[in-house]
């Protein structure tokens, strides 16, 4: 029993954080926000060169073969630096789905290799999300038709952009027609792939929400330490302190829930759905509170376009409902814990 990360995993996270700190500074994000596509080929190239697109790709396809547990750390960094959806969606969520296809499935190895080297953008259209993130710049879309999984080239779909308050999110309604040529899985296998994909998408979002919460907390701590009123830093006032202490507490208790969910997913545990939903709920809650308390302690500055807080806040508001909103995830938790004979209470945190 060891519910901690290895030194290697933690060192890797550190390295990713240092890389993104320079590559994805807030000024840079603002520039990208203002572009039509909302995407920067240059940032994308640097990220791929750093190997981040190859993390989930199996080793025999040119990747690093990292599991969900390592992604629980990675996604926090992606959230902390507000990296757009396209990276995690392709390098983690889509890579996971494609890697789970039977070896020998046409194009499987090709797609995985291209995810790893960053030369393909894949968007994922899971039915839980009414709109598809990054459908427009994608080369390939993974789309659902009932239980069927289709891999559809961008030219075969029509996309209609739908603007989000979070300018880092580029959402679209996708129109397409299923064809035999695009079908890659169906029936039981398709259903299992979509179920797993939903959990990966939710876990990825949960990790990003937690990273966003931490970022908003850090921004707020910096702000209240330097802003003065009544002759002292506002961070010395107890009402301000307590707002931020509450955020810190939420963030502290969300972390291990995220890690437990990642492990459940990586190990195909029967109770993984409820664990993932728990993580999504608790991380979303931490992020929303970090946003609310964050804007409060910033005063009017927090209500401006100019102060960076807004970018992280908007992303937190949006991601909270992505890959299953609260109602969806609460229903899954309820299904698990209100079921007859559910294994609850002391001693069931790691075993049925």
Contact residues for other proteins, defined by CB under 8 A: 1-6, 69, 217, 221, 224-225, 232-233, 235-236, 238, 240-242, 244-246, 248-249, 252-257, 259-260, 263, 267, 278, 281-282, 330, 333-334, 337-338, 342, 344-351
Taking the complex as a whole, how short is the minimal distance between the CB of residue 11 and other proteins, in angstroms?
14
d(CA 233, CA 331) in angstroms, rounded, equals 44
Give the end-to-end CA distance of the chain in Å, rounded to a whole number: 15
Nearest CB to other proteins, comparing residues 275 and 315 = 275
Tell me whether residue 126 or residue 243 sits nearer to other proteins (CB atom).
243
Residues 6+ apart with CB under 8 A from 214: 76, 79, 80, 251, 290
- Altogether, the residues listed in the chain come to a count of 352
- Closest separation in Å from C-beta 288 to other proteins: 15
Question: Rounded to an integer, what distance in angstroms lies between the CA atom of residue 103 and that of residue 256?
Answer: 34
Q: How many CA atoms lie within 13 A of 196 on its CB side?
A: 23
For other proteins, the closer CB: 170 or 260: 260
CA dist 175 → 72, 113, 131, 161, 308 (Å): 33, 28, 11, 12, 35
Q: Which is nearer to other proteins, 143 or 240 (CB)?
A: 240
State in angstroms the smallest separation of the CB of 217 from other proteins: 8
Q: What are the backbone angles phi and psi of residue 159, rounded to the nearest 5°?
A: -120, 145
Helix (H, G, I), strand (E, B) or coil at 222: helix
Nearer to other proteins, 194 or 263 (CB): 263
Smallest distance from other proteins to CB 334, Å = 6
Minimum separation from the CB atom of position 125 to other proteins (A): 29
């Amino acid at each position: 029993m060891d519910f901690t990360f290895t030194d290697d995993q933690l060192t890797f996270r550190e390295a990713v954080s240092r890389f993104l700190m320079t590559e994805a500074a807030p000024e840079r994000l603002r520039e990208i926000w203002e572009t039509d596509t909302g995407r920067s080929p240059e940032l994308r190239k640097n990220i791929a060169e750093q190997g981040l697109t190859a993390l989930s790709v199996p080793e025999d396809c040119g990747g690093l073969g990292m599991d969900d547990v390592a992604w629980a750390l990675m996604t926090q960094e992606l959230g902390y630096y507000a990296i757009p959806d396209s990276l995690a969606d392709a390098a983690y969520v889509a890579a996971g789905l494609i890697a789970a296809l039977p070896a020998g499935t046409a194009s499987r190895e090709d797609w995985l290799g291209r995810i790893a080297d960053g030369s393909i953008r894949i968007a994922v259209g899971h039915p839980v999300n009414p709109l598809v993130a990054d459908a427009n710049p994608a080369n390939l879309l993974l789309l659902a038709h009932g239980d069927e999984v289709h891999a559809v080239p961008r030219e075969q779909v029509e996309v209609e952009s739908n603007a989000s308050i979070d300018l880092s999110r580029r959402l679209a309604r996708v129109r397409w027609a299923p064809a035999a040529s695009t079908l890659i899985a169906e029936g039981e296998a398709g259903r299992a792939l979509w179920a797993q994909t939903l959990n990966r998408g939710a876990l990825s979002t949960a990790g990003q929400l937690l990273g966003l919460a931490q970022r908003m907390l850090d921004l707020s701590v910096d702000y209240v330490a330097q802003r003065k009123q009544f002759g002292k830093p506002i961070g010395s006032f107890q009402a301000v302190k307590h707002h931020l202490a509450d955020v810190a507490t939420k963030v502290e208790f969300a972390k291990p829930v995220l890690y437990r969910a990642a492990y459940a997913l990586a190990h195909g545990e029967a109770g993984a759905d409820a664990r993932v939903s728990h993580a999504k709920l608790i991380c979303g809650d931490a992020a929303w509170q970090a946003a609310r308390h964050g804007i409060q302690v910033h005063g009017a500055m927090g209500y401006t376009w100019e102060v960076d807080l807004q970018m992280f806040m908007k992303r937190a508001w949006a991601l909270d409902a992505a890959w299953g909103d609260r109602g969806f995830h609460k229903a899954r938790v309820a299904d698990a814990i209100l079921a007859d004979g559910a294994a609850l209470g002391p001693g069931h945190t790691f075993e049925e």
